[in-house]
Amino acid sequence: MRLLVTGIAGFIGSHLAERLVARGHDITGLDNFDAFYPRAVKERNLARLDRSRVVEGDILDAGAVDRILGSARFDGVVHLAALAGVSPSLSAPARYVRVNVEGTMTLVESMVRHGVRQMVFASSSSVYGANTSVPFDEDDRVDDPMSPYAASKRGAELALKAVVHTTGISVAALRFFTVFGPRQRPDMAIHKFTRAIDHGEPVLLRGTGATSRDYTYIDDVIDGTAAAVERVAENPSGFRAYNLGGTHATRLDDLIARIGAALGKTPRIEVVPELRGDVQHTLANVARAGAELGYAPKIGLDEGLRRFVEWYRAAGA
């Protein structure tokens, strides 16, 4: 298949593009190299890809998107580009909504103009918001977001659901649960904690450490995403949401201890207030993804941390 991958220079995007190329798909990438973290990091992410197939541009630029989707007959779009992170969304809610919702619709409008019928969309476990019933199921209510980031991801899901009804395109919305592994963004918890412990700096423990997350290794997420790309092409079915998680919840204080063990160093802990907008717990029910995508996470937290630390040391990250 010929596919457009947005956000190709990011953590998940670069891994996914490598997998899709290895599976014989023809990939064009789009990325605006947003300054949220250093451009050099994203350039390194692209090291194993054909850089000439990566277009620098913005999903909000309808002309740029049209030029790409009009340049050849594309079979689908894998839409990973977004503004990410709960904390930064608190100070820039309008920008998050514009990029994550309006940018998604800019892509859809161009898809319709050029006859592209399938999208795989990167959503987030954040859409479950204040839901206290775990594990989270795709049919749970998702109308109580805790942050502008979560609201923007849910808003994009709703907008996509509407255009499925009005245009006939098919969308697989993948709700990722705290993805980690080599190339993880430097602002994310596991990467920040690893760097702090390695440098002998204090790790900021938010609250009591009792919050928990379903940490999901990058290879497992890529397995599920690649399967979704191929399933949507073979069996278009309107709008369908899928949880992609690791299926085990880990407390924050336990996570820090396990990162320390992977590094062979003892963490120094500094307790700070909990972050506004953060949910207390996440845990994925992946039965639907298992049945329809063949998704079965294989890499547990300790093995994933071992691999991450190995990459972190080799990359000097």
Alpha-carbon distance 220 to 229, whole Å?
A: 14
Alpha-carbon distance 232 to 228, whole Å?
A: 6
Cβ-contact 281, 211 below 8 angstroms: yes
Closest CA to 122 of 244, 300, 304: 244
Closest CA to 118 of 63, 79, 162: 79
Cβ burial 126-141 (10 Å sphere, 16+ → b, else e): bbbbebeebbbbbebe
Closest CA to 96 of 87, 108, 84, 107: 84
- DSSP structure class, residue 193: H
Cβ-contact 116, 77 below 8 angstroms: yes
242 assigned to active site: no
Number of C-beta neighbours around residue 105 at 10 A: 18
Cβ-contact 174, 244 below 8 angstroms: yes
Q: Which of 96, 149, 242, 312 is catalytic?
A: 149
Which residues neighbour 297 within 8 Å (Cβ) at sequence distance 6 or greater? 216, 217, 220, 245, 246, 247, 286
Number of C-beta neighbours around residue 39 at 10 A: 11
Which helix (H) or strand (E) segment holds residue 64: the answer is: helix 62-69
Q: Which DSSP string corresponds to 123-188?
A: EEGGGGTT--SSSB-TTS-----SSHHHHHHHHHHHHHHHHHHHH--EEEEEEE--EESTT--TTS
Residues marked active site are found at 149
